[in-house]
Amino acid sequence: MSDYRVLPGPEHFLPPAAASMGIRLPNPGEAHINGVIALEEKAYEEAARQFLMAKVPTIFPGPLVLWAWNEKAAKKATAIRHLFNTLKECVQPGQKPMLIPMPDYRPKYPKINPEVEINPNHPNLTIWHNKIDCCMFVGVHCHQANLSLKIIRGGTSCYTIAMCAQAGHEDAMLSFRDASVEKIMRLAETIKRLKGTVQPRSNYSKN
């Protein structure tokens, strides 16, 4: 097992891909936290805790859930909206949950508007601008999600969560796999259950 741990950065000028450091993806029914395989149960708790601790907990929905291109995508989008609403209900004054889409993957030139979108080629700009200290990617194609997660780890201190519909992401600090409507709803339930038990961070982290 690798000694490397996937932790909030800023890690390096060019951080390595976690897979190249020996971090392995979870098997079905598992998740990973900081690169260590964990029970999914524990991952729900930790993800909820990180969201509730964050000053600006943010969900980044990607193209796969932004369009109703099939029935499942539409249902997932509804579940994500529910998760966001739950988050808003459960945070304390001073915390600012956000929902910022990643509508496509093209580099945005000359300048992205970081208040309205995030882009996999320079996700750090949106993180920095909004002082986001915990985020979750959902509905982003895996390749693009990995680019984003690694760049965020390289240049920011943001805690990253991946709700992946496929095999998961080593480059996130916490990753679910085989994401479904049920899993998104379960995360929302966990956040609701932990409401009031987790204190938000007192200061903005240096992201």
Under the rule (CB under 8 A), what is the footprint of another protein? 14, 16-20, 24-25, 63-64, 66-67, 69-72, 104-107, 109, 120-122, 141-144, 146-147, 150-151, 154, 165-168, 170-171
Which residue, 63 or 200, is less far from another protein as judged by CB?
63
Nearest-approach distance from CB 185 to another protein, in angstroms: 18
Which residue, 21 or 99, is less far from another protein as judged by CB?
21
Which residue, 108 or 195, is less far from another protein as judged by CB?
108
| Enclosing H/E stretch for 32 | strand 30-33
Please give the span between the terminal C-alpha atoms of the chain, in angstroms, as a whole number.
29
Nearest-approach distance from CB 150 to another protein, in angstroms: 5
Which residue, 107 or 196, is less far from another protein as judged by CB?
107
Is the N-terminal amide bond of 93 cis, ω within 30° of 0?
Answer: no
Nearest to 194 by CA among 65, 87, 80, 114: 87
| Enclosing H/E stretch for 126 | helix 123-130
The Cα diameter of the chain in Å comes to: 44
Lookup: tokens for 103: 């509508």
Lookup: tokens for 196: 């009031």
Which residues face 61 on adjacent strands? 138
| Enclosing H/E stretch for 146 | helix 142-155
Position 99, amino acid: L
Nearest-approach distance from CB 182 to another protein, in angstroms: 15
Which residue, 87 or 179, is less far from another protein as judged by CB?
179
Nearest-approach distance from CB 16 to another protein, in angstroms: 7
Nearest-approach distance from CB 151 to another protein, in angstroms: 6
